[in-house]
Amino acid sequence: MLTVDNVNLHYGAAQALRGVSITAPMGKITCVLGRNGVGKTSLLRAITGQQATSAGTIAFNGAGLDGLAPYRRAKLGVGFVPQGREIFPLLTVKENLETGYAPVARKDRFIPDDIFSLFPILQTMLGRRGGDLSGGQQQQLAIGRALVTRPKILVLDEPTEGIQPSIIKDIGRAIRYLRDSTGMAILLVEQYLDFCRELADHVYIMDRGEIVHEGPAETLDTPEARRHLTV
């Protein structure tokens, strides 16, 4: 499992994470909710190694991640689907998927069939440029690219943002399938409450850089949880 223990993160003098502790067990979907700007993306940046922490520890399946560069964490099985998707617009869908080869052994440098079973549209659009895809298709491509790296934990930053409902359903199904078929850990950050309530095994809520609530998905309906989520 992923263990984040008492982590602080600063941008200059501004503190974005304050003593954050969470776990994301294998075979479970863990969801972190919270309003805009409470530190959700910063938490994922700390986990994936894009932003240095100023205190605390992060470990995955017993291996300390602190101080490791993002590609080293990818090699250890941390797959990341960033906010805004970060698809290469001028590369084809196939080439975008192949950018996921970097951290994998030479023998594993192929695109697993599962990706096309989960997202058939990617197969039909393999030769199209990433920039020509719709937002929802780009999100599927971003998840596909992360799966090419053979992650043991999939970390997703607001996968439903700006995406039409039918594709949100497909993405939810894919995340559930990945949990059940591969036993990977899934950690996702969201603002969309219903998506988390349906999908999550365990939820955390953040407010102003801190974890302020933790529990099973049903606890999202308690007045205390709602208070932290309403604008």
Ligand X SMILES: Nc1ncnc2c1ncn2[C@@H]1O[C@H](COP(=O)(O)OP(=O)(O)OP(=O)(O)O)[C@@H](O)[C@H]1O
Query: Considering beta carbons, is residue 45 or 150 the nearer one to ligand X?
Result: 45
Asked if 230 touches ligand X (CB under 6 A), the answer is no
Taking the complex as a whole, the smallest distance from the CB of residue 70 to ligand X amounts, in Å, to: 16
What's 26's DSSP letter? T
> Which residue pairs from 50-53 have beta carbons closer than 8 angstroms and sit at least 24 positions apart in sequence?
51/9, 52/9, 53/7, 53/8, 53/9, 53/17
Two tokens, residue 111: 């695109």
Q: Following DSSP, what letter does each residue of 180-195 receive, concatenated?
A: HHH--EEEEEES-HHH
Q: Report which of 84, 80, 60 is spatially closest to residue 149, judged by C-alpha positions.
A: 80
DSSP string, 158-174: -TTTT--HHHHHHHHHH
Check binding of 103 to ligand X (CB under 6 A). no
Residues 23-52, mask of contacts with ligand X (x by CB under 6 A) = -----------x-xxxxxxx----------
Phi, psi of 78, deg, nearest 5: -90, 110
Residue of 4, 16, 33, 199 interacting with ligand X (CB under 6 A): 16
| 97 vs 200, beta carbon nearer ligand X | 200
Instruction: Name the segment binding ligand X (CB under 6 A); options: 11-19, 92-100, 106-114, 119-127.
Output: 11-19
Site for ligand X contains 4 (CB under 6 A): no
Pairwise CA distance, residues 88 & 26, whole Å: 30
CB nearer to ligand X: give 36 or 166: 36
Q: Does 85 bind ligand X (CB under 6 A)?
A: no
The answer to whether residue 160 forms part of the interface with ligand X (CB under 6 A) is no
Q: Which is nearer to ligand X, 30 or 41 (CB)?
A: 41
**Number of chain residues interacting with ligand X (CB under 6 A):** 12
Minimum distance from CB of 14 to ligand X (Å)?
Answer: 5
Contact 123, 137 (CB under 8 A): no
* Residues near ligand X, by CB under 6 A: 11, 14, 16, 34, 36-42, 83
